[in-house]
Amino acid sequence: MLMSTQANRYAHQLLDARAGAQTLPPLSARESLSIADGYDIAKCVLEARIALGEVPVGRKIGFTNRKIWSKYGQSEPIHMPIWTTMFDSTVRYIEDNRAVQSLLGAVQPRLGPELVFRLAKTPAPDASLEEVADCIEWMAHAFEIVTCPFRDWKFEEVDAIAAFGLHGALLIGEPKSLSAASRRSLPQVLAGASVSLSCGDQLRSAGFGSDVLGSPVHALWQLNQMLAAQPQFMPLSAGEIVTTGTWADVLPVAAGENWATAFSGLSLPGMTISFA
């Protein structure tokens, strides 16, 4: 078990690296750390960021796409989703599903297409999939820019948990309100949908909603289950936004590039983003 003073020390090392746009060795390379240790560090990060004036606005679920688990992790592949708190400083809503995003200060940035939910109601800790879906107010397409303070994206799962869940920024497109009927069918609808990701005129990646733990709604249910087992963190609550994980492997991005998405089987518009 990690001592609280050491967890706090690691948290501030990560915060300093983020502020200076620097890399550092994985925490797991220094000592043996458990998943619980990673969340202890994440709790210290959360408290430090709130003390600095940042406001929590929701959660990010990471590593929900089972097709990419084998690509990450050093001693063993990633094998479960993770989550982190998102703050007002890293989340923004964009107009007309088009955005310009600076990469200044982003360490080893990559891009993933995601689906975001906003909760209208607070789910019970033991809520079923259907009950969790009924708590959703709207959904929206989003781009998540993920960043990594560990050189060449080499890390263990515990490192990713501690390092802000690798969250850099979230750009949310036009929300679509959901009726009671659409919420009931949402897990199946999203499971059957697909998205393509292009850079310029070149198709770079594609994926299905079913790749995200079976459906993004399943990812939201899984997060609710995880939080029920972590009493040191606040449970999900009404008003939060939750981004549910990339539908395709995240890809490196650079200034000057233009990226775009398009959906099939889902009535959401794609998005375009230009990096500066």
Q: How do beta strands 91-93 and 167-172 pair?
A: parallel
Residue 272 CB contacts under 8 Å (≥ 6 apart), including other chains: 97, 98, 99, 258, 259, 260, 261
| Paired tokens of 127 | 């809520």
Residue 5 CB contacts under 8 Å (≥ 6 apart), including other chains: none
Can you give the pLDDT at residue 22? 97
Q: Are 260 and 271 in contact (CB under 8 A)?
A: yes
Q: What share of the chain is helix, strand, coil (3-state, %, to 5)?
A: 30, 30, 40
Can you give the pLDDT at residue 2? 84
pLDDT digits (tens, 9 = 90+) for 209-234: 999 999 999 999 999 999 999 999 99
- pTM tops 0.85, yes or no: yes
**Which of 3.30.160.100, 3.90.850.10, 3.40.50.720, 3.40.50.1000 would CATH assign to domain 4-275?**
3.90.850.10
Can you give the pLDDT at residue 1? 75
Which backbone phi and psi does 84 adopt, to 5 degrees? -150, 160
Annotated domain spans of the chain: 4-275
pLDDT digits (tens, 9 = 90+) for 245-264: 999 999 999 999 999 999 99
Positions of the chain with pLDDT lower than 70, given as ranges: none
**What are the distances in angstroms from CA 205 to CA 2, 120, 197, 231, 263?**
39, 32, 5, 38, 12
Q: Are 55 and 62 in contact (CB under 8 A)?
A: no
Can you give the pLDDT at residue 3? 86
